[in-house]
Structure 1
Amino acid sequence: MTLYGIKNCDTVKKSRAWFAGRGIEMPFHDLRSDGLQADVLRRWLAAVGAARLVNRSGTTWRALTPTQQAITDEDALVALLLAQPTLIRRPVVQIGEAITVGFVPDTWADLLEAGT
């Protein structure tokens, strides 16, 4: 189990508090300071898709060029997300093999109950 995010993100803080409030020790991986591997990003993209994973409402997205915003090639998208980790919608939570994106406590509860 791992919670991926950026430590000063409000949604990440709320998510970490949700797990802590249930006595669940959730390892935290900071996308900025700890980095991320391309194979992990590819796994996330395969699991949830680019439409769910890429944060298109933030300031980082708005600062991209139209060409960058139009990227559909997986290799180019992975390179962009590695260079700009704040483009990743947060938090990304891995529980077993399951990947979730965003604050989804009902889904986390179901996954934890199922022992995924």
Structure 2
Amino acid sequence: MSIQVYGIPSCGTCKKAIAWLEAQGIAYEFINTKDYPPSRTAIAEWVSILGERSMRNTSGQSYRALGSEKETWSHIQWIEGYAKDAMLLKRPLFVKDGKAIAVGFRNPEDLKQKLISN
């Protein structure tokens, strides 16, 4: 089983998620999206699984800087936006065996089920 956690080191939610993973003894690879932005292809796959709305980091400066035009963006425009600015992506994003399984860190028990199930 291969687990990647996409986020940024300074993100409080990412820190909580990483501490939880370590407390559970779950091995993971952390990928700093500022230093290593995900590819458009990867983002498109994640969006197809999780949906573009759930992946929006609506509390970030990048999101607020978009202005009102973001309200009418299409599915494709969101994928392009995420690919151009990884700070638009909600954090952390969890990928298991190459497939996105969750974004954000609100329900650790739900995440645990997704991490241990096939």
TM range (shorter): 0.7 to 0.9
Q: Give the Å deviation of 1:34.
A: 1.0
The TM-score, its normalising length taken from structure 2, stands at 0.86
The 8 Å contact of residues 93 and 100 in structure 2, kept in 1 or not, is answered as no
Alpha-carbon RMSD across the aligned residues, in angstroms, is 1.6
What's the counterpart of residue 31 of structure 2?
29
The 8 Å contact of residues 4 and 93 in structure 1, kept in 2 or not, is answered as yes
Dislocated runs of 4+, deviation >3 Å: none
Q: Distance in 2 between matches of 1:106 and 1:73?
A: 30
Please list every run of 5 or more consecutive structure 1 residues that lacks an aligned counterpart in the other structure.
none
Deviation per residue, 1:23-54 (Å, 9 max, x gap): 22210111110111111100111011111011
Aligned AA (1:56)? T
Q: Give the Å deviation of 1:68.
A: 3.9
Aligned AA (2:79)? V
SS at match of 2:9: coil
SS at match of 2:95: strand
Q: Distance in 1 between matches of 2:53 and 2:85?
A: 16
Q: Distance in 2 between matches of 1:29 and 1:70?
A: 30
Aligned AA (1:33)? D
The 8 Å contact of residues 58 and 88 in structure 2, kept in 1 or not, is answered as yes
